[in-house]
Amino acid sequence: MTSRGATNEGAFAPINRDRAFEGVVSQIEAAILNGTYKVGDNLPSERELLEQFQVGRSTVREALRILESMGLVRTSQGSRKGAEVAGMTMNSLARSLHSAVAMRGVPLVDLVEYRMIAGATGNFLAARDRTDEHLTKMENAITQMHELVGDAHAFARADVAFHSAILEAAGNALLQIISSVVEASVIDLIADRVSDADNEAVRASFIEQHVTLLTAIRDRQGEEAARIAQISLYETYAPLLEPKDRDRIAVLVDAGAASFNPAHHN
């Protein structure tokens, strides 16, 4: 086991000079993921990295900058020790996923479809496992929606807070991380949907849906909570989609909460 602050002699190999920083990133990332360097360990010093990789100082510094942006290491200016292995935090993973969604240009219908699938599952699990603390967070978010009804973006953030509380209650960390990325990707669309001056009915409907969902989760009615997710998300986003995409997500509404009812699997 590598002790805190220790280095691994010759852990890295010389690399091709073409886009050398990518090779440095790849080797250090692999060494962290395979346990050669564990959280809290220090990588070799900058000088040692230069010798092992046989690259220039700027290449090593660029690679460390990228690794730090990925959340894998922490660097301290002026420190004689190598960068410290930080591990990937929830926030850094969420940032990475968000960048991937943005860079690949994931279409809206894919984001909506995921929200419908994950939302139904999250609601079902939240109804089963919620605590009074989770319910309080949901209630507070609804109160904020009432208070911020005139501010579209603030209203949208309160909506995200409500669903984040549900995912927290669901208790699945991976579902929570990925869904938070999707929420961030569509928050502007939520704001646009509820921002029009003549759309007070839409905002009132949003709040009413949330109150109904909160009641189902409080009463531990998982199937009803799942059904609400499918229907409310369809009604919210269907008008923003092309007809063929509306038909695609309508299939999920037709399925409803049947998949959460054990009687449908007998």
- For residue 135, CA distances in Å to 138, 217, 222, 242, 262 come to 5, 8, 15, 36, 26
Tens digits of residue pLDDT in 107-152: 888 888 988 999 999 999 999 999 999 999 999 999 999 988 878 7
The rounded distance, in Å, linking the Cα atoms of 211 and 139 is 8
Report yes or no: 67 and 25 within 8 Å, Cβ to Cβ: yes
Q: Read off the tokens for 118.
A: 């994950």
pTM for the predicted model, two decimal places: 0.64
Mean pLDDT on 41-52: 94
Quick one: pLDDT band at residue 199, thresholds 50, 70, 90? low
- Residue 5 predicted with pLDDT over 90: no
144, containing H or E segment: helix 132-147
Q: Which of 46-55, 58-67, 129-138, 203-212 has the lowest mean pLDDT?
A: 203-212
Q: Which ranges in 34-107 belong to alpha helices (H)?
A: 46-53, 57-69, 90-104
Domains of the chain: 20-88 (1.10.10.10), 92-265 (1.20.120.530)
Closest residue by Cα to residue 228 from 245, 237, 216? 216
| Sign of CA pseudo-dihedral 257, 265, 171, 188 | negative
